[in-house]
Amino acid sequence: MVLINNIYPKDRQRLFTNRKKELKLIEYNVESFLKTGLRKHLVLIGLRRIGKSLIIYEFIKRNKNKINISYIDLKKTSMEPQYFATDYIKKVLQWSLKTKEEDLLILANKLNNEKIFEQVNDFLNKKTKKNYLDQINFAFSFPELLSKLLNKKIVICIDEFQDILGMNRYKGIDDIIDIFRTHLQSQSNTFYIITGSVITTMEKICLDDKSALFLHFNKIINLYNFTKEDSFALIKKIFKQEQLSIHVKDILFTLFKKTTGNPFYLTILTQKIIELNKLFDLEIDENLINKAFLIELTNKNSRLYNYFNYIFENSLEKARGKASLKSVLFELAKEQPDSLSNLSEKLNKKSGEMRTLLKRLIEVDLVIQKQNKYLFRDNLLRKWVALFYLGINIEVTSSSKFINELLSQFQEKYQRVSTELGRATEYEYKVKLEKKLNIKLNNYNKNNLEFDLVGKKNNIYYIFEIKHRNKPANYKDVKNFLEKVEKSEFKKIKLFFISKSGFTKQAEGLIEKNGIGIL
Ligand SMILES: Nc1ncnc2c1ncn2[C@@H]1O[C@H](COP(=O)(O)OP(=O)(O)OP(=O)(O)O)[C@@H](O)[C@H]1O
Ligand SMILES: [Mg+2]
């Protein structure tokens, strides 16, 4: 069983680019641990979506046959201690035994060792009790137990390590980092590679001399954006995957410049250009890149828009004083870098208060300080804030009117494509409904009246309205349907309204009143 392919599918493997230096460093340190026992635990730190997880996946893919490596993603793990402990042990066993088996006892049984089986069984029996500390202690000691049993050193990769702090809220666990450190220190067969995306927090965990892990994770690998050459290489790979080729330097360079070489942004923007090119037959030039960029940043269905919206709201949620923090960010979006005194003046705040606000923004990685001036950590996020909240396009000199026009122009075209998609979906419904109701159904279009599907059974007409949209059908949708039916030739009828995203409250009322079926 190749577990890595589940989290790192083959098509993504093919796009992997660059990171030679980082992978070499990881492999070098792991090899010297395997040979000499020297443990220099590694930590990968970098902004969200810079490619931390991908490096770990790539390392596992390349070394899975010679080294016992486990991967635990704390983003996908509950921080309730008993669940965390179970998941931690389970993941270590699944990776070590190369199986997807979910049952902890079955997993433990596969080890053919009575002692470990008993220990796991004991752990499971006590799990309902709130002895959190015991549970966590058992989980953290498990990799070493296992490695001794298998007589094979073990490498544990913990992704999004900073999330572990979520356990500090639970009874009996005062300092989870210190508990982790105690285990790490007493082990000799277990090597750790951890990653973290909240840079400020990770630095506190690993570099602050007050932190329990200070000096234990002293090999820090900082991840940065791609260089120009690596960006070009990634873009070309994405084009190749779509059976297209691109060699025009200007285009490659514009893409690199717009995304500042962030591999995630680069991937999204390149894919968008290819999509626009294929859907609308538009030539790939600078103009198209500009359009794709604006669409990605402003269109609510776009991946980048949604990503920035999530990051922005989520980061602010974590810090206190959301409204004031937003005002500071808006000022920086308009003009940066800016000084403390300038910002205080602009927002009419005392400098002490402004300092606190900036400190909070730094803690959630939205802002950094450089020589007494403050600026966004991520320049693209800044552009998004400027565009979305302030309607300013810092990049191209254009007004929000221009953007709106541009978007509506594209939306029109999208509309056409989505109508075509709608037809296809209608057909799928037709097939399913015909089978379910044992009736022949067809699209109806007569005297300017259109129904998605109509059929006749026992002298009754079955009329269907289908809305395959991402928002609930509303009162007006249902009313329109009823009015259409009213005008039609059909008298003995049974009505059905099918909506992919459900109905609004008012729509539900109307549906019920008129005895419309909703399947
Ligand atoms: N070396 C790379 N080669 C090709 N694409 C990459 C590379 N690194 C990152 N990417 C692109 O960026 C995306 C994000 O990468 P990844 O998930 O590894 O980032 P991350 O730093 O772990 O993010 P998060 O903080 O959200 O966990 C990938 O899905 C991929 O599209
Ligand atoms: Mg990640």
Q: What is the pLDDT of residues 83-131, one digit of tens each?
A: 999 999 999 999 999 999 999 999 999 999 999 999 999 999 987 778 9
Q: How far are the Cα atoms of 66, 317, 344 from residue 357, in angstroms, in the given order?
A: 49, 14, 10
Who wins on pLDDT, 234 or 412?
234
If one looks up domain 4-222 in CATH, what number appears?
Answer: 3.40.50.300
Average pLDDT, the chain: 89
Q: Can you tell me whether residue 375 is helix, strand or coil?
A: strand
State if residue 234 touches ligand 1 by the CB under 6 angstroms criterion: yes
Cβ atoms within 10 Å, residue 212: 18
pLDDT of residue 354: 96
Q: Does ligand 1 lie within 6 Å of residue 261's CB atom? A: no
Residue nearest to atom 6 of ligand 1 (CA): 263
CA of 114 to the centre of ligand 1 (A): 42
Would you state the pLDDT for residue 447?
Answer: 79
Ranges of CATH 3.40.50.300 domains, the chain: 4-222
Q: Is 467 exposed, middle or buried (0-12, 13-18, 19+ CB in 10 A)?
A: buried
The rounded Å distance from CA 81 to ligand 2 centre is: 22
Q: Is the dihedral of CA 382, 384, 388, 392 positive or negative?
A: positive
39: pLDDT strictly greater than 80: yes
Distance CA 223, CA 208 (A): 19
CA pair distance 109, 364, nearest whole angstrom: 44
pLDDT at 397: 42
Phi, psi of 129 (to 5 degrees): -75, 155
Instruction: Note whether 136 and 176 are within 8 A (CB).
Output: yes
Delimiting residues of CATH 3.40.1350.10 domain(s) in the chain: 413-513
Distance CA 161, CA 201 (A): 10
Domain 228-298 grouped into CATH 4.10.240: no
Model pLDDT, residue 273:
92
Q: Is the CB of 307 under 6 A from ligand 1?
A: no
Of the ranges 181-185, 204-208, 480-484, which one carries the lowest mean pLDDT score?
204-208
Residue 399 pLDDT > 50: no
Radius of gyration of the chain (CA): 28
**pLDDT of res. 212:** 83
What are the start and end residues of each CATH 1.10.8 domain in the chain? 228-298
- Sheet of 442-446: strand order equals 442-446, 449-457, 460-467, 493-499
Task: Name which residue sits closest to atom 28 of ligand 1, judged by CA.
Answer: 264
Mean pLDDT of 238-249: 88
Q: Which CATH class is domain 413-513?
A: alpha beta
Q: Which of 114-123, 284-293, 347-356, 490-499 has the lowest average pLDDT?
A: 284-293
| CB of 263 sitting under 6 A from ligand 1 | yes
Q: What is the CATH number of domain 313-398?
A: 1.10.10.10
CA dist., res. 144 & res. 304, Å (int): 42
